[in-house]
Amino acid sequence: MDNRVTLLEDEIVTRVQTARYMLEKLGKPCDSLKLIKLIALADIYKLRLEGETITGDDYVAMKNGPAPSNTSNIIRFNSDYVDGDTLTYAGNYIEKHNTTISAKEGDVAYDYLSDFDKKCIDYVVEKYGNLSASDLTDGNGGENVHAFEAWKKHDIRAFGPGQVAPIHMEDFFTNDGPVQVDEADIERSRERYLHGNL
């Protein structure tokens, strides 16, 4: 059975540009788990402020916290879930060495990222970029991805290897975990997410 997902061109480009921009802002290669968690934080931060994520990805609960499903597979160059053309495109901008991901040399236009997308990524890199993958998943008090109720509601301990559960995006509209914002922003963003632009 073929588990690969067919993504639209703008979905692929947005997700690759998000990873590449994050790596550029970090200024050095990054463990793939850390990169995925930082992208998740930027996505959730934007969701809580604007009612939409940067990547437009579906989220799943995994052992190491919430993850943007397709973005994670692209970053990990997982050919079981991502088609070859997508991986070839991603390989033009990012590269994998074991579990480390780095930005390829060269200029990138980032034309699929808005200024606000970049600000959300910049905020997350500034606040959490110095933390390790372990700190982002298990340590650092309430400033780790396990502090999100959207993730906690799944009994991850019962999961088998590689098992995931879908997370409903509306479950992130609480002021828990990292990237907390004003309650008024959360309420406005929840309404925008549920009912369209207000």
How high is the mean pLDDT in each 10-residue block of the chain (198 residues)? Answer: 66 96 97 96 97 96 89 95 93 96 95 98 96 82 77 77 87 92 95 83
Locate 25 and state its tokens: 């802002």
pLDDT at 170: 94
Whole-structure pTM value? 0.93
Q: What is the DSSP string of 147-186?
A: G-HHHHTS-GGG--TT--EEE-GGGG-SS-SSS---HHHH
The predicted pLDDT at position 6 comes to 63
